[in-house]
């Protein structure tokens, strides 16, 4: 049964289909500043990775303000820690059935990473509704289109090496949402806010063009 929080995430991704990814090994204040800026700018779904400084503390602190997930979730221990911190979704670089199933058991939506059709199907069979295509930037938009041919019922979230300027094109090609990391979160708070604003305009333009 879907929890109210996971239902909130699905609604959030329909409204603004971007997952902002914070991966920061610098001082805790830097991680906190990026998260706060992204939330203030209007990001609705945010992922902090397990190799970021004080990630559990950050997730716990901001989980009431945004649909908060944890990335680089590679083990059952990561899943448990993410849940304890208040995350409502987990994101992984690869497909591990035990990680997917444990996330679901705890009421979190898993976003397993996949590259091939076989990996996509393994993720779906384990119970994942969303599949993270990784590394999407290196594969290109045509790869997503090719996957959507036989796998058109899967909700794909391309991630890795995608620029903020390309996000709308991926969505227009059939992505359910797009994961954006360093290209979105680098630079000053002003830079980040400007990119989020530009993303909103870009996505709105592509949505109108698709109608």
The verdict on whether 29 is a catalytic residue reads no
Handedness of CA 206, 200, 14, 161 (dihedral sign): positive
Residue among 8, 14, 47, 208 flagged as catalytic: 47
Q: What is the pLDDT of residue 5?
A: 72
Contact 40, 12 (CB under 8 A): no
Q: Can you tell me whether residue 17 is helix, strand or coil?
A: coil
* Backbone phi, psi, residue 93, to 5°: -75, -20
Residue among 14, 84, 98, 132 flagged as catalytic: 132
DSSP character at residue 152? T
Provide the H-helix boundaries in 49-161: 55-62, 76-85, 97-105, 117-125, 136-139, 141-148
Can you give the pLDDT of all 211 residues of the chain as single tens digits? 567 777 889 999 999 999 999 999 999 999 999 999 999 999 999 999 999 999 999 999 999 999 999 999 999 999 999 999 999 999 999 999 999 999 999 999 999 999 999 999 999 999 999 999 999 999 999 999 999 999 999 999 999 999 999 999 999 999 999 999 999 999 999 999 999 999 999 988 866 555 5
The verdict on whether 155 is a catalytic residue reads no
Q: What is the pLDDT of residue 205?
A: 80
Is 18-187+198-203 a CATH 3.20.20.70 domain?
yes
Question: Nearest to residue 192, comparing CAs of 207, 206, 205, 182?
Answer: 182
CA distance 1 to 142: 35
For the entire predicted model, the pTM comes to 0.95
Q: What is the greatest pairwise CA distance in the chain? A: 45
Q: What is the pLDDT of residue 204?
A: 87
Q: What is the pLDDT of residue 207?
A: 67
Cα–Cα distance list, 134 to 15, 66, 119, 156, 207 (Å): 23, 24, 11, 10, 24
Q: What is the pLDDT of residue 1?
A: 53
């Amino acid at each position: 049964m879907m929890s109210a929080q996971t239902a909130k995430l699905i609604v959030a991704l329909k409204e603004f289909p971007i997952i902002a990814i914070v991966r920061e090994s610098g001082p805790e204040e830097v991680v906190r500043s990026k998260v706060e800026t992204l939330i203030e700018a209007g990001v609705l779904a945010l992922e902090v990775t397990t190799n970021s400084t004080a990630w559990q503390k950050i997730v716990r602190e901001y989980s009431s303000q945004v649909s908060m997930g944890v990335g680089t979730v590679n083990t059952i221990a990561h899943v448990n820690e993410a849940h304890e911190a208040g995350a409502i979704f987990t994101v992984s670089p690869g497909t591990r059935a035990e990680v997917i199933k444990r996330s679901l058991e705890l009421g979190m939506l898993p976003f397993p990473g996949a590259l091939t059709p076989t990996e996509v199907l393994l993720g779906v069979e384990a119970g994942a509704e969303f599949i993270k295509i990784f590394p999407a930037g290196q594969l290109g938009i045509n790869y997503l289109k090719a996957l959507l041919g036989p796998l058109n019922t899967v909700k794909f979230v391309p991630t890795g090496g995608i620029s903020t300027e390309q996000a709308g094109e991926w969505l227009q090609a059939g992505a359910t949402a797009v994961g954006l990391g360093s290209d979105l979160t680098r630079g000053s708070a002003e830079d980040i806010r400007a990119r989020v604003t530009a993303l909103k305009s870009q996505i709105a333009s592509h949505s109108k063009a698709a109608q």
